[in-house]
Structure 1
Amino acid sequence: MARLWRYGLLLSRQREVAEDLVQATCVRALERAGQFVPGTRMDRWLLSILHSIWLNEVRARRVRFGQGAVDADVALAFDGEHAAHTHVLAAQVIRRVAALPETQRETLYLAYVEGLSYREVAEVLQVPIGTVMSRLATARLKLAEYPPLHSVTSTINGERR
Structure 2
Amino acid sequence: MNQTIENILPMLRRFAYSLTGNSADADDLVQTSLEKMLTKPVPTGVEVTKWAFKVCRNVWIDEYRAQKVRQNATRKPELQEQQSIDESSNFEQKELLLQVNQAMSQLPDEQRAILALVAVQGMSYKDVARSMEIPLGTVMSRLSRARSTLLTLIKPQQIGAEL
| TM class by smaller structure | 0.5 to 0.7
Q: Report the TM-score when normalising by structure 2.
A: 0.65
1:68–1:44 distance in 2 versus 1, CA, 3 Å: farther
- The whole-number CA distance in structure 1 between the counterparts of 2:15 and 2:34 is 14
Matched, 1:83 2:90: yes
SS at match of 2:122: coil
Q: For residue 127 of structure 1, what is the amino acid of its counterpart?
A: I
Is the CA contact (8 Å cut-off) linking 1:89 and 1:149 kept in structure 2? no
- The whole-number CA distance in structure 1 between the counterparts of 2:101 and 2:36 is 30
Q: What is the alpha-carbon root mean square deviation over aligned residues?
A: 3.6
Deviation at 1:52, TM superposition (A): 2.8
Larger radius of gyration: 1
- Residue 107 of structure 1: which of 92, 105, 114 is its match? 114
Matched, 1:49 2:52: no
Query: Match of 1:66?
Result: 69
Is the CA contact (8 Å cut-off) linking 1:8 and 1:22 kept in structure 2? yes
- Residue 141 of structure 2: which of 121, 127, 134 is its match? 134
Is the CA contact (8 Å cut-off) linking 1:13 and 1:68 kept in structure 2? no
* Count of aligned pairs: 144
Is the CA contact (8 Å cut-off) linking 1:36 and 1:45 kept in structure 2? no
Bigger share in helix: 2
Query: Match of 2:158?
Result: 150
- The whole-number CA distance in structure 2 between the counterparts of 1:106 and 1:17 is 16
Q: Report the TM-score when normalising by structure 1.
A: 0.66
Unpaired runs of at least 5, structure 2: 1-8, 73-79
Unpaired runs of at least 5, structure 1: 152-161
Q: For residue 136 of structure 1, what is the amino acid of its counterpart?
A: L
Is the CA contact (8 Å cut-off) linking 1:51 and 1:125 kept in structure 2? no
Deviates more, 1:5-14 or 1:128-137: 5-14
- The whole-number CA distance in structure 1 between the counterparts of 2:133 and 2:64 is 17
- Percent identity, aligned pairs only, is 29
SS at match of 1:29: helix
Q: For residue 50 of structure 1, what is the amino acid of its counterpart?
A: C
- The whole-number CA distance in structure 2 between the counterparts of 1:34 and 1:108 is 25
